[in-house]
Amino acid sequence: MPGPDKETDLTERIEAFLSDLKRGGSGTGPLRGSAETARETTALLRRITAQARWSSAGDLMEIIRKEGRRITAAQPSETTVGNMIRRVLKIVREEYARSRGSSEETDQQESLHKLLTSGGLSEENFRQHFATLKANVIEAINELLTELEGTTDNIAMQALEHIHSNEVIMTIGRSRTVEAFLKDAARKRKFHVIVAECAPFCQGHEMATSLSKAGIETTVIADAAIFAVMSRVNKVIIGTQTVLANGGLRAVNGTHTLALAAKHHSTPLIVCAPMFKLSPQFPNEEDTFHKFVSPHEVLPFTEGEILSKVNVHCPVFDYVPPELITLFISNIGGHAPSYIYRLMSELYHPEDHEL
């Protein structure tokens, strides 16, 4: 029977995705990039929409939320998963509103205007059944997937506006987005790149190798030398793991140091971040904000004697406050950090902030 088979198939896929997430999240080592995670999450959500049993938009949203909570619990620091789930929930809401023919789309957010003019305390409960809803939602999710495919290219296309000839650019660690960004500019401009190695994983080395293969003059420096070299740098271009709701970043450790050094020298700090990295979280949750991995990278276990006398920590992320950032370059263009709240309201519905 196709019914139960589909369901077990679906649950199997979800379980496989969950275990993959749990395993693959070790620092910024050999794991999947955020873009792949986002794509896989969206594909999984499309499968859930197609195969799970639901009769109204409310049911679908409940199913997505339930699965979403499980998936985010598997790897809390991987925020792209949560972001994609919220995007799909917003898609469901929009398609529902469109099917009902109401113009409520623009008025979904809480606002003073809505407080004054609404006629009732009625909560939209999404119980009506529409035959075309499934097809519409799946189509919209496909559009989202196409958007995801093109994000890196869209960001790289903007490179020529920001990078000029004979400039010295600094970056830290390894970001696929920044790599594509710099490679695209290198086709037409000649410039130098200084890469901070970003200990203890030293992803900067791989970045430098990749950039020099593309013909860009690259220098690798230790993290401690960032301030010393900063006076010669024209721009700092970095990637990030997450963009927080206040415009701050959760980026690889060492980024805050880089940002402070750039501020001191009044060097512009540009962050290349696709829209799926935008998360409605604020930097207040201490327990979920940081991720610690094996301290083996910092102090190898072979140093037996010292281990009993010291505590060794290896945090993966850093918080960068919004005042240190000059510009965000995303697949929809460049924005100031103070504009992030607006993008947030366009991408997610406020009721979905808490899954």
Partner 1 sequence: MNEEELVEYFRAQMRKDPDMASAVAAIRTLLEFLKRDKGETILGLRESLTGATDCLTGVDSSVAVSSGGELFLRFISLTSLEHQVSGLPGTRPFLLHSWTRSSSREILGVKLVTFVNSVRQDLSRCKKVMEERGELFLEKISMSRAKVAKLCHTFIKDGAKILTHSYSRVVLRVLEKAAAEKKRFSVYVTESQPDSAGRQMADALRKLNVPVTVVLDAAVGYVLEKVDLVIVGAEGVVESGGIINKIGTYQMAVCSKAHNKPFYVVAESFKFVRLYPLNQQDVPDKFKYKADTLKTVKNLSEEHPMIDYTPPSLITLLFTDLGVLTPSAVSDELIKLYL
Query: Is there binding between residue 310 and partner 1 (CB under 8 A)?
Result: no
Cβ 195 to partner 1 shortest distance, Å: 29
Handedness of CA 163, 165, 167, 173 (dihedral sign): positive
Instruction: Based on the shown chain and the rule CB under 8 A, indicate whether residue 339 belongs to the binding site for partner 1.
Output: yes
Beta strand pairing call for 327-330 and 333-335 = antiparallel
* Per CB under 8 A, 120 contacts partner 1: yes
3-state secondary structure 7-45: HHHHHHHHHHHHHHHHHHCCCCCCCCCHHHHHHHHHHHH
Nearest approach, Cβ of residue 61 and partner 1 (Å):
20
* Segment interacting with partner 1 (CB under 8 A) among 63-71, 112-120, 221-229, 255-263: 112-120
Q: Can you tell me which of 15, 62, 285, 346 binds partner 1, judged by CB under 8 A?
A: 285
Q: What is the DSSP string of 214-230?
A: TT-EEEEE-GGGHHHHH
Report in angstroms how near the CB of residue 351 gets to partner 1 at its nearest.
11
The interface with partner 1 within residues 7-66 (CB under 8 A) comprises none
Distance CA 82, CA 85 (A): 5
Query: What φ, ψ does residue 237 adopt, rounded to 5°?
Result: -120, 120
What DSSP character marks residue 56? S
- Characterize the bridge pairing of strands 249-252 and 317-320: antiparallel
Region near partner 1 per CB under 8 A, out of 46-54, 118-126, 159-167, 326-334: 118-126
Count CB neighbours of 254 within 10 A: 20
Among 113, 213, 264, 265, binds partner 1 (CB under 8 A): 113
> Residue 103, interface with partner 1 (CB under 8 A)?
no
Closest approach of partner 1 to the CB of residue 247, in Å: 7
Q: Which residue, 27 or 247, is less far from partner 1 as judged by CB?
A: 247
CA 351/CA 341 separation, integer angstroms: 15
- 105: contact with partner 1 by CB under 8 A: no
Q: How many residues bind partner 1 (CB under 8 A)?
A: 24
| Structure tokens, 340 | 């992030």
Nearest to 71 by CA among 55, 56, 88: 88
Nearer to partner 1, 116 or 310 (CB): 116
Kindly state whether residue 115 participates in binding partner 1, applying the rule CB under 8 A.
yes
**Residue choice 1, 2, 4, 117 for contact with partner 1 (CB under 8 A):** 117
Would you give the DSSP letter of residue 278?
Answer: B
Residue 284 binds partner 1, judged by CB under 8 A: yes
Question: Which residues contact partner 1 (rule: CB under 8 A)?
Answer: 110-113, 115-121, 245-247, 282, 284-286, 338-342, 350
